[in-house]
Amino acid sequence: MAGQTVTIVKRVTVGVPIRTVTSGAFSITNLAGINVAGVKEGSMLIYDAAAAEFRVDSDMSSVYTEVNGGSF
């Protein structure tokens, strides 16, 4: 067996399988730094640098609003 690596398994231990996995209380409202006050249909998350958090907004009429989808 020159040049080959041989692995010898001495013992295999089998544990108790997990039957149910839950995500707990996951919701966007549980995440720090996200303010969802005033959320309604059509809203999106916008970063507010002054508040250092993401907030919801559905008004896209601001002259400062720019949507950049990037390059792929």
7-54 tens-digit pLDDT: 888 888 888 877 777 777 778 888 899 999 989 998 888 888 999 999
Tokens for 14? Answer: 């089998």
CA-nearest of 60, 27, 59, 57 to 39 is 57
Sign of CA dihedral 48, 51, 57, 63: negative
Domain chopping of the chain, boundaries: 28-57
Query: pTM of this prediction?
Result: 0.50
Sign of CA dihedral 27, 29, 32, 34: positive
d(CA 13, CA 69): 49
Where residue 64 falls among pLDDT bands split at 50, 70, 90?
confident
